[in-house]
Amino acid sequence: MEALFNAFKDPNTQWVLLGCMLLGLSSGVLGTFTYLRKESLMGDALAHAALPGVCIAFMLTGVKSIFLFLIGAAAAGLLATFGIGYITRNSRIKQDTALGIILSVFFGFGIVLLTQIQHSAGGNQSGLDKFLFGQAASMIMDDVIVMSVISVLVMGSCALLFKEFKLLSFDPGFARGMGFPVPFLEQLLMLLIVVIVVAGIQAVGVVLMVAMLITPAVSARYWTEKLGVMVILSGVFGALSGLLGTLISTTANNLPTGPLSVLSATALFIVSLLIAPRRGLLAKVWVRYSVKKQVKAESAQTRLERRLGES
Amino acid sequence: MSDFLIILTGALVASACGILGCFLILRRMALVGDAISHAVLPGIVIAFLISGSRDSFIMLLGASAVGLLTVYLIQMFENSGVQSDASIGVVFTALFSVGVVLVSLYTRQIDLDLDCVLYGEINYVPWNTITLGGVDIGPKAIWTVGIALFLIVLFIGLFYKQFKICSFDPAMAAACGIPVALFHYLLMSLVSVTTVASFESVGAILVVGMLIVPAATAYLLTDRLSAMIGISVGVGVLSAVLGYYAAYALDASIAGCMVSVAGVLFLAALLGSPKHGVLLRNARRRRYLREANAAEGRAV
């Protein structure tokens, strides 16, 4: 316990903790809408699609600057969302296939660019691909400031546009009928996801980012039928995962923070799956059991009455 | 000779993935391959820890086992009410994280280069040969992917009708007395084995790309499943061949070029397909509009 306390005196740990919690919070909130819109794997596609953007940013400028990389990644991410939207709107290809096409083709093209850079520029390109795999433990104050700004942006937009996003998640056709600017809202939601994914992959890596957008939202869905509650719960689950991940990684042998946060989120998901009221597995088993008992009792009752009637 | 071997491997991967991809796309499970290629990491690490060797057969076994587990878990969560895309995401991120934690727990001192072990490079195919009874019988990749392709052709060929009905109308399949769950798991096992067998020799990105992109291209060009499978394989093989020469000309990653070419072919189909293409559809729409306007003008 004391070791735990001491670990938190370390300013670096505090930054990592704060950064991971903010990231978990805002991606949990955003994840709710993507889950309901059946776009959970959008984060996965965007995270992979960022690679060519990073490569092109490097090829154009020749400098390794995080800021330029982020711009390149965001531009590629936006292009990817446009591509996915274009394919699903203009052909009979379904969304998951469109996601997969964009994911693999962008990433494949990114690898082509990466090998081009390696073959032409010599030694100074190293670390370009590592950009995508992030290191939560190396988070510094600047990263946390960026993360705070993004969190405020994400949560502010979700709070202001809650009603619009709600309608967008459940019935976009109705939203269009009501005269809401649906394409604009959809693209805004995508922009927020691009921003959070790009900020997240640099800090914690692709896979953590994907998990943070999906797992807390799925867990939250088990506990409630109301969107507002679900958004808050999902954010809390996300932040809690970041907290647990950092805690475990500082106390236990310096394990990587990102994967531990994912596993914390998964643990929360399994708990929700089991014990959530009404939708959880145990609740379902209990309902089945009590219905069975009731049916048995009723049939015994009718048998008894029939026999009494006969006699 | 090595040119030929690399192209042959690419074509074999493209054929195996092209056939399976058609069914995955129709069943809206396009991203299962991507999920498997991430999720098998703990299987590889555990196989390595137990056997202590980097013998790729044992790793292949571990990876395939976890690949099947992945598929099973995805299905289990889906059955308990989680949306299918979210179910895929939850499972593969969790398993991948377990893998990363295991790697940093146990293999810090041991030389387990993940880039090397997990993600193959199609360039090295001609040099990674197997010997049987002292005789060099050719590249390992060709054998493993070839066997996977053989299994796919065998099973899909035997149960084509069943797979077809299950893909388009699972409810009707169940009503006909086809064991839908069995065929689902059979298909998923084939996907799992193929994914693992191929990415170990040619890299994950080529497998994921070949599972999805050529099948999607074929889906835009035809309305018949048998034709779709044929076109998908054709597009995949064409991408492999053109991609190899593009990579040769550009001096770039072969797998990346093959996937990029597949992407270009997809774009061509998206725009130019005779029935489902964007260009012709827009032209048709303009013509109808013009005719309607003209008819209106006459009426007035």
CB contact under 8 A, A263 and B98: yes
CB contact under 8 A, B90 and A266: yes
Q: Rounded mean pLDDT of A194-202?
A: 84
Q: What is the DSSP letter of A279?
A: T
Residue type present at position A143:
D
Q: Which of B25, B86, B260 sits opposite A214 (nearest CB)?
A: B86
The residue among A17 and B233 whose pLDDT is bigger is: B233
Query: What confidence category does residue A258 fall into, taking pLDDT thresholds of 50, 70 and 90?
Result: confident
By C-alpha distance, the chain B residue nearest A88 is: B270
Beta carbon pairs, A and B, within 8 Å: 185
d(CA A221, CA A240): 16
By C-alpha distance, the chain A residue nearest B256 is: A108
Q: Which of B101, B259, B278 sits opposite A104 (nearest CB)?
A: B259
Q: Which pLDDT belongs to residue B69? A: 92
User: For residue A239, what are its two tokens?
Assistant: 């932040």
CB contact under 8 A, B94 and A256: no
Q: Which domain holds residue B155?
A: 2-299
Query: B222 with B172: CB under 8 angstroms?
Result: no
Give ipTM to 2 decimals. 0.89
Q: Where do runs of H (alpha helix) occur along B159-253?
A: 160-168, 170-175, 180-202, 204-221, 225-250
d(CA B191, CA A3): 47
Chain A hits for B253, Cβ within 8 Å: 111-112, 114-115
Look at residue B107 and tell me whether its pLDDT is greater than 80. Answer: no
Q: Which pLDDT belongs to residue B106? A: 76
Query: A55 with A112: CB under 8 angstroms?
Result: no
Q: Which pLDDT belongs to residue A134? A: 57
Chain B hits for A35, Cβ within 8 Å: 83, 86
Q: Which pLDDT belongs to residue A306? A: 87
Least confident of A113-127, B132-146, B206-220: A113-127
Distances in Å between the Cα of A64 and the Cα atoms of A57, A58, A132 are 9, 6, 14
The residue among A130 and A45 whose pLDDT is bigger is: A45
Q: How many domains does chain B have?
A: 1
Chain B hits for A221, Cβ within 8 Å: 82
d(CA B115, CA B205): 13
A282 Cβ neighbours under 8 A, 6+ residues apart:
A274, A275
CB contact under 8 A, B85 and A259: no
Cβ density class A162-201: b for 16+ within 10 Å, e for less = eebbbbbbeebeebeeeebebeebbebbbbbbbbbbbbbb
CB contact under 8 A, B89 and A40: yes
Q: Which of B77, B105, B256 sits opposite A108 (nearest CB)?
A: B256
A129 Cβ neighbours under 8 A, 6+ residues apart:
A51, A114
The residue among A12 and B4 whose pLDDT is bigger is: B4
Q: Which pLDDT belongs to residue A308? A: 84
Distances in Å between the Cα of A124 and the Cα atoms of A109, A115, B43, B81 are 21, 13, 35, 49
Chain A hits for B206, Cβ within 8 Å: 108
Q: Which of A39, A108, A281 sits opposite B259 (nearest CB)?
A: A108
d(CA A307, CA A305): 5
Sign of the alpha-carbon dihedral angle for A98, A99, A104, A110: positive
CATH at residue B176: 1.10.3470.10
Look at residue B233 and tell me whether its pLDDT is greater than 90. Answer: yes
CB contact under 8 A, A44 and B89: yes
Q: Which pLDDT belongs to residue A1? A: 55
Q: Which pLDDT belongs to residue B111? A: 47
Query: A218 with B86: CB under 8 angstroms?
Result: yes
d(CA A34, CA A211): 12
The residue among A256 and A192 whose pLDDT is bigger is: A192
Separation in Å, CA of A97 to nearest CA in chain B = 5
Query: What confidence category does residue B117 fall into, taking pLDDT thresholds of 50, 70 and 90?
Result: very low
Dihedral angle computed from the Cα positions of residues B139, B141, B147 and B149, in that order, rounded to the nearest 10 degrees: -130
What's the gap between Cα B286 and its chain centre? 38
Terminal CA-CA length for chain B: 73
Least confident of A126-140, B36-50, B286-300: A126-140
CB contact under 8 A, A263 and B94: yes
Separation in Å, CA of B246 to nearest CA in chain A = 10
Look at residue B9 and tell me whether its pLDDT is greater than 80. Answer: yes
Q: Which pLDDT belongs to residue B113? A: 47
B208 touches chain A (CB under 8 A): yes
Q: What is the pLDDT of residues A63-84, one digit of tens each?
A: 777 778 888 989 999 999 999 9
Look at residue B110 and tell me whether its pLDDT is greater than 80. Answer: no
CB contact under 8 A, B101 and A256: yes
The residue among A79 and B80 whose pLDDT is bigger is: A79
List, as ranges, residues 267-296 from B with C-beta within 8 Å of A. 270, 276, 278, 281
B133: left (phi over 0), alpha (psi -120 to 50) or beta: left
Q: Where are the beta strands (DSSP E) in chain A?
A: none
CB contact under 8 A, B89 and A215: yes
Query: What confidence category does residue A136 fall into, taking pLDDT thresholds of 50, 70 and 90?
Result: low
B27 touches chain A (CB under 8 A): no
Question: Which residue of B191, B260, B273, B276 is the best one to mutate when testing the A interface, meaning the one whose CB has the most A CBs within 10 A?
Answer: B260
Tell me the backbone φ, ψ of residue B132, rounded to 5 degrees: -125, 120
Q: What is the DSSP letter of A23?
A: H
Chain A hits for B281, Cβ within 8 Å: 90
A15 Cβ neighbours under 8 A, 6+ residues apart:
A139, A140, A141, A143, A144
d(CA B45, CA A306): 66
Q: What is the pLDDT of residues A79-118, one digit of tens each?
A: 999 999 999 988 999 989 999 999 999 999 998 988 888 7
Question: Which residue of A79, A112, A222 is the best one to mutate when testing the B interface, meaning the one whose CB has the most B CBs within 10 A?
Answer: A112
CB contact under 8 A, A41 and B89: yes
CB contact under 8 A, A108 and B96: no
Chain A hits for B258, Cβ within 8 Å: 108
Tell me the backbone φ, ψ of residue B136, rounded to 5 degrees: -75, 115
CB contact under 8 A, B97 and A214: no
Chain B hits for A273, Cβ within 8 Å: 77, 80
User: For residue A172, what are its two tokens?
Assistant: 């976009």
Look at residue A172 and tell me whether its pLDDT is greater than 90. Answer: no
Look at residue B257 and tell me whether its pLDDT is greater than 90. Answer: yes
Query: What confidence category does residue B199 fall into, taking pLDDT thresholds of 50, 70 and 90?
Result: confident
Separation in Å, CA of B131 to nearest CA in chain A = 32
CB contact under 8 A, A92 and B251: no
A86 Cβ neighbours under 8 A, 6+ residues apart:
none
Question: Which residue of A32, A33, A79, A111 is the best one to mutate when testing the B interface, meaning the one whose CB has the most B CBs within 10 A?
Answer: A111
The residue among B264 and A125 whose pLDDT is bigger is: B264
CB contact under 8 A, A108 and B266: no
Tell me the backbone φ, ψ of residue B223, rounded to 5 degrees: -110, 5
Chain A hits for B168, Cβ within 8 Å: none
3-state secondary structure of B118: coil
CB contact under 8 A, A266 and B105: no
Look at residue A123 and tell me whether its pLDDT is greater than 50. Answer: no
d(CA A226, CA A197): 26
Look at residue B262 and tell me whether its pLDDT is greater than 90. Answer: yes
Distances in Å between the Cα of A202 and the Cα atoms of A69, A75, A139, A189, B81 are 9, 15, 10, 20, 33
Q: Which of A35, A100, A259 sits opposite B212 (nearest CB)?
A: A100
